[in-house]
Structures are given as C-alpha cells and as structure tokens.
Amino acid sequence: MGKRGLNVLLLGIGNILFQDEGMGAHFIHYMDEKFEFRSKENNTLSIVDGGTLAQRLIPEIVKYDEVIIVDCVDAINSKPGDVYFFDYNNTPLEVNWQGSAHEVEMLQTLNMIDMSRDLPSTNVLGIIPKRVADDTTFELSTEIIDAVETMQNCVIEHLKKLGIESHVRNEHITIKQMAQMSYKREIINNPVV
C-alpha cells in the first residue's frame, strides 16, 4: 500500500450576492475550471466553496493537512485589488480580517479550531475589495478582476511547494464568466417564488 499523501484544501469564502464580497467563492470556481491539479506524491487537492458557512466548516477544515483560504480582507494603506498571502499564525500587523460579518465569523472559526489544537497549516489569500454590499449584483469591480492573475500565481506557487502541479485545462475561462455562472447556480438552487 502506498504512502499517504498530503491532503490540501483550497477554500473559497464569500457572499456571491454582494459584488466583490463573493470573490473567494468565484476565485476557487475559476481555479477549478481553468486548471487540472496533479501530484506525483499522492497529494490531493480539494476545492470547496465555503460561502458564508464559517463554523459549519469546522468538520471539513480539520480533515486536511494544509488549507488555503481565499477571502476578502482589509489592510492599512491598501487599495482595492491589493493581494495578501500570509500564514494565518503570522498574520501581518497591517492586515485586518474583520471587515464583514462572514470575515469575523471565519476568523472566529479558525481561532476555535486553533484553540482545540486541530488547525491544519493554514494560509490566507486575501484581496482588498472595492465594492461590498452596495447592491445585490454578481458584477465584480475592475480592480478585483485585474488582481486575478496575481491571486492565481500565489496559489499555483504555494501548491507547487506542496507537491501539487497545476496544468491549464481551459485557458479561455475568465473570472467574469465564473461570476455569471455563480449567478446562474444561485438562481437554480434558490429560485425566487
């Protein structure tokens, strides 16, 4: 029987109903659609849309050896579209991960897992949003769209360090298309009556 590999989770957090706030969810769907991920070392990558579930994600998060959380953050002297990639246990002082209700819940969730000593090695890919909750729309700001390549490169480089290679499967997919697909999924799963 082969050696057990590293189990890695790419977890997108965000409310897709509120513009840039949904970027974490849109981004992980984009990565899943654009790339195929392989490992020669029996490592696995799971891609999960955590939406705004927060504490209900605890049983899922603790199953993994490594977690990458994609979410909106705030930071001192930042501008929309700025990207931060950091170890949760060494969050930079300028980063404030408590902007919206779900961000506070996600931070509390990680703190709870950490207190019970079950927290996997966790990195956060954070993006500074431009528009959050001004209006219910799936449209992303230009600044967020322009940050996708930087976000993608952060994840690909980190996965490479974890022994997981990324291979382009669909080079034509865009984050705007993924946001529109999210909209269609939301309507299908939660029809207006």
- Predicted pLDDT of residue 191: 37
Higher pLDDT residue, 105 or 179?
A: 179
- Predicted pLDDT of residue 192: 36
Share of residues in the chain with pLDDT > 90 (%): 50
Tens of pLDDT, residues 86-96: 999 998 888 87
Say how far apart CA 45 and CA 62 lie, in whole Å. Answer: 14
Tens of pLDDT, residues 27-84: 999 999 999 999 988 999 999 998 877 778 888 999 999 999 999 888 899 999 999 9
Tens of pLDDT, residues 171-191: 999 998 888 876 554 433 433
Which domains, and CATH codes, for the chain?
7-189 (3.40.50.1450)
Tokens of 163: 């022994």
- Predicted pLDDT of residue 1: 44
Higher pLDDT residue, 15 or 58?
A: 58
Higher pLDDT residue, 74 or 133?
A: 74
pLDDT interval class at 139 (50, 70, 90): confident
